[in-house]
Structure 1
């Protein structure tokens, strides 16, 4: 027998009939309220993974879901939180006691929010968020693999593999076919839970001219400006972009982002005698990315490992020629109908990287072909298509 409707409950009250039990009323409320989806992220900052969770949250909200965002802690002061954002702790735990408090708070917040489905992001978000979610409630957990295995410690890879095999994750999404092939090596139940959901992205546009954009960012208005937007981390191999500058005195490099590798990058620039030509712009908000891209002649993306390469896709689609590290996933993602939308090269080879940048700057036909192919990436990586895929997965798990 199906549960009575809310109108039936009201009718029983108005006619003096016995009221429904609290359990029956709770079942009715659960059926009539919007499904609540909780997105669990690691640190709150302006980076690629956070951009994807923001887009997913906005898309699910527009489709009628009650969406909440839970971050472990806030990393960046300039981070603009989406609606219904919660933080576990004020800063990254730095002691055993602080870690214990953080885990307890994470479990409590998940329990209090009572989600119907949980999406976790990044490797620590999946591992820590997945375990605490299972301890807090029975909502299905959808893990989002947006971290390359090369960027994960061996013990964390093992934890992730076990969690997928034993069913702590109801579904595991990957954002490229290269990732799908890589994680399929785990086999068994892990492989059966894998789903390919390509990243979508917002087109990054600017109303500023190149000179205006450079002025706004404190960059020289004339000359060649290379740039990259990434977390300043050794895995991004941004030192490769700095190493091309000594042989090209007319080039400058603008780096947008923050992270632990900044002191080393500054020291390298000083040692190479190019400190005055490397501009650390700092972290920029998603709304400023378009202005940053408008200031550049070439976008350099020398990352050692990627699962998608969102920053490079955004730059290429904005019309900025991209020179990136030769990774298999970038052959897949930075292409349209088999035609490249970027120049891929071994970025650790300074001479090869420099020559590729020089070619993009001087070969007008090449630049036009890259821009033509990149213009179609927005249709290939639609935000609506990404959100629709998540809706299907959520409905299946519910």
Structure 2
């Protein structure tokens, strides 16, 4: 396997005790914790500020606010993006380093499921789907729902084959596809799998509004008022196509490109930026916590997503929710969330063409009227994907009865 906010007023804050092998949640009111027995568990592969993780956390916020006892378990901690959230557990506080660490995670997952005995388990991302639903089935959990957040062709071979088997024979009692794009890609699976498949589009929460001024937001990133700032948010991986984006932005005067995210390609991107020398216009920010996205978007003039493929467009929709004009790759998932290019909701470009990406960056920098029009369109895009509808859809698809 590849190393792949507290709730509202009056709710008990729960924190992870990292020194216990069973990863217990420590509650300020243990009697209350026993009374509110967890009926729903969400399982995610790793803790980091990724799209699947944000969807799980947004769903948990809705369920907790509605009084539904829910816990969100991460198999391991990659980065501490959601440590301050209520009812969050990490089964291991670091990425697994070898076979023994994987075995520890599996034992802790099995023991915790047997102890918690939830009625429903919902899993997010391919390894959580396979192992979370398998151990849920073995421990007698009646509702086991796997959320498909990636295209099957992009899933590692072992997880892909197990996913196909488990969805067909019923280890998964239900399967959620997160977009029309993903749903269509799963239609060639066996009848047993397709019968369990339900479409529940991701929901998007608007990022927290930055309380300060635009000038203060820019100052926090050491940006001047007279420069065009274009941002992108995403894991630093080959599929996100940052290499082409950085080369396309090189030498563009009056423009700064901010890349928020972390991942396996960081060292290579740093070397690329260093090699471009004075021609580079790019800054790597590292992983920006979800609570800080509002500040990042407040400092920006536009958002760009250069990905070679996506199963859904969570990051551009978050930027759209902040009113930023967006430019996106011309790929099926982006047409799904932003409409056809002719609709004019976003600026589309060919992600395999540095020239096309450079042209999009130049237009965003130079055409204020274009930015203003796209900004107006952005708010309507974000409104079409409700977090409440997503959370309700997950409960309905999973068979959870409250």
Q: What is the CA distance between 1:251 and its match in structure 2?
A: 2.0
2:328 matches 1:324: yes
Q: What are the equivalent positions in structure 2 for 1:281-360 lying under 5 Å apart? A: 281-335=285-339, 339-360=343-364
Q: What is the CA distance between 1:287 and its match in structure 2?
A: 1.4
Partners of 2:59 and 2:38 lie apart in 1 by 15
Decide whether the 8 Å contact of 2:174 with 2:197 is kept in 1.
Answer: yes
Q: What is the CA distance between 1:358 and its match in structure 2?
A: 1.7
Q: What are the equivalent positions in structure 2 for 1:138-217 lying under 5 Å apart? A: 138-204=141-207, 205-217=209-221
Aligned residue number for residue 73 of structure 1 = 76
Partners of 2:212 and 2:280 lie apart in 1 by 25
Aligned residue number for residue 10 of structure 1 = none
Partners of 1:357 and 1:69 lie apart in 2 by 39
Partners of 1:308 and 1:340 lie apart in 2 by 19
RMSD: 2.3
Decide whether the 8 Å contact of 1:201 with 1:314 is kept in 2.
Answer: yes
Distance 1:378 1:278, change over 3 A: closer
SS in 2 for 1:375: helix
Residue by residue over 1:377-396, the C-alpha shift from the partner in whole angstroms, topping out at 9 and shown as x without a partner, is 23311111112212322446
2:241 matches 1:245: no
Q: What is the CA distance between 1:331 and its match in structure 2?
A: 0.4
Partners of 1:340 and 1:103 lie apart in 2 by 48
Aligned residue number for residue 267 of structure 1 = 271
Decide whether the 8 Å contact of 2:258 with 2:282 is kept in 1.
Answer: yes
Residue by residue over 1:258-296, the C-alpha shift from the partner in whole angstroms, topping out at 9 and shown as x without a partner, is 111110111111222258632221222211101101111
Decide whether the 8 Å contact of 2:119 with 2:400 is kept in 1.
Answer: no
Out of 389, 393, 396, the residue aligned to residue 389 of structure 1 is 393
- Structure 1 gap ranges (5+): 1-31
Aligned residue number for residue 41 of structure 2 = 38
Aligned residue number for residue 380 of structure 1 = 384
Q: What is the CA distance between 1:368 and its match in structure 2?
A: 3.3
SS in 2 for 1:244: helix
Distance 1:307 1:169, change over 3 A: same
SS in 2 for 1:38: strand
Aligned residue number for residue 22 of structure 2 = none
TM-score, length-scaled by structure 2? 0.85
Decide whether the 8 Å contact of 1:178 with 1:329 is kept in 2.
Answer: yes
Decide whether the 8 Å contact of 1:217 with 1:281 is kept in 2.
Answer: no
Decide whether the 8 Å contact of 1:335 with 1:374 is kept in 2.
Answer: no
Decide whether the 8 Å contact of 1:266 with 1:275 is kept in 2.
Answer: no
Distance 1:185 1:208, change over 3 A: farther
Partners of 2:224 and 2:368 lie apart in 1 by 23
Bigger Rg over Cα: 1
Q: What are the equivalent positions in structure 2 for 1:59-138 lying under 5 Å apart? A: 59-138=62-141
Decide whether the 8 Å contact of 1:339 with 1:373 is kept in 2.
Answer: no
SS in 1 for 2:55: helix
Aligned residue number for residue 223 of structure 2 = 219
Partners of 1:202 and 1:239 lie apart in 2 by 29
Decide whether the 8 Å contact of 2:122 with 2:398 is kept in 1.
Answer: no
SS in 2 for 1:184: coil
Residue by residue over 1:280-338, the C-alpha shift from the partner in whole angstroms, topping out at 9 and shown as x without a partner, is 21222211101101111221211122111101111123221211111111101123998
Distance 1:119 1:337, change over 3 A: farther
Q: What is the CA distance between 1:123 and its match in structure 2?
A: 0.9
- Structure 2 gap ranges (5+): 1-34
Please identify, of 154-163 and 266-275, the stretch whose mean Cα deviation from structure 2 is larger: 266-275
Distance 1:244 1:130, change over 3 A: same
Partners of 2:331 and 2:53 lie apart in 1 by 23
